[in-house]
Amino acid sequence: MHRRSFLFSALLVPLALASGAAHAADGKLKVVVSFSILGDIVKNVGGERVVVTTLVGPDGDAHVFEPTPADARAVAAADLVFVNGLGFEGWMDRLIKASGYSGPLVVASDGVPSRTMDEDGRTVTDPHAWQDLGNGRRYVENIAAALAAADPAAASAYGATASAYEAALAAKDQWVRDELAGVPAERRKIITSHDAFGYFGAAYGVTFLAPVGVSTEDEPSAAGMARLIRQMKKEGVRVVFFENMTNPKLIETLAREAGARVGGTLYADALSPPGGPADTYLKMFDNNLPQLKAAMLGM
């Protein structure tokens, strides 16, 4: 799928002239973050000292995002820009060029041991590292270091908020492990729309299967669907899950053809809107885990 619009060439000149970030008048850092899950993590570390603009919002799909002129203006005015990295935001380099932004681009996943997957003979990097809370802690450390470098006077404050938040992530990580402890090994199989849970699976001992690869840009092949249906029947996988930010049609088809039921909606690549069941990074696990556990235990 090609989404390179003429938007960028049209924007290049005016935004280049308008660029040149400065701290907001109130002394707060103006921060642009690529997607909602990372936006929540940055808010938790930055607290009152940062003003966060998130480009791909709740229920949005960052794999197929098309930036607008307003997004380019937000980037142009930023002190710092945060991305997940690992190939997640394929549109960000173009957006930054178009905006004229020349400040730091902070890759939150820096230093995380990345996973690769084989997709039809190609080796692809899996970007969904945040689904392992251990990796989330690395994100927090990278974010705290970047905020401290941009705003050295508040370095110790960022360190303190980062430590407190890391402790909450560590506690959530332990909770996930405790919750899954009673699930027998042979039942630990889950079907989702696309391969968004590889890091979760590796960290917590669950096998995830999906008709679509690590990017929602890919189309499922008929052969791939047929193979997955055969595998589900053979291995007795009876539950499939929607993802909050992808089209439910594929999963409805899969459920019908494999004789499975839909177990609910997992938050994969985006949070829910505020007030919804997964409006923070931590609450995403609170939403997903009981549904996964119930599906695996056949309840």
Q: Would you count residue 269 as binding Zn ion (CB under 5 A)? A: yes
Pick the closer one to Zn ion by CB: 146 or 210. 210
Span of 6-14, 31-39, 184-192, 196-204 interacting with Zn ion by CB under 5 A: 196-204
Span of 74-82, 148-156, 246-254, 262-270 interacting with Zn ion by CB under 5 A: 262-270
Span of 30-38, 89-97, 174-182, 188-196 interacting with Zn ion by CB under 5 A: 188-196
Pick the closer one to Zn ion by CB: 162 or 209. 209
Cβ-contact 154, 160 below 8 angstroms? no
Q: Would you count residue 196 as binding Zn ion (CB under 5 A)? A: yes
Cβ-contact 246, 270 below 8 angstroms? no
Exposure string (b/e) for 136-171, b if CB count within 10 Å is 16 or more?
bbbbbbbbbbbbbebbeebeebbbebbeebbebbee
Task: Give CA separation, 190 vs 106, 167, 168, 197, 258, in Å.
Answer: 33, 29, 26, 10, 13
CA distance 296 to 290: 10
CB of 37 to Zn ion, least distance (A): 11
Pick the closer one to Zn ion by CB: 151 or 195. 195
What phi, psi does 8 have (nearest 5°)? -70, -45
CB of 261 to Zn ion, least distance (A): 23
- Looking at this protein, which amino acid is placed at residue 43? K
Q: Would you count residue 218 as binding Zn ion (CB under 5 A)? A: no
- Looking at this protein, which amino acid is placed at residue 268? A
Pick the closer one to Zn ion by CB: 71 or 269. 269
CB of 90 to Zn ion, least distance (A): 12
Span of 22-30, 90-98, 191-199, 253-261 interacting with Zn ion by CB under 5 A: 191-199
- Number of helices (H), then strands (E), belonging to the chain: the values are 10, 10
How many of the chain's residues bind Zn ion (CB under 5 A)?
2
Residues making contact with Zn ion (CB under 5 A): 196, 269
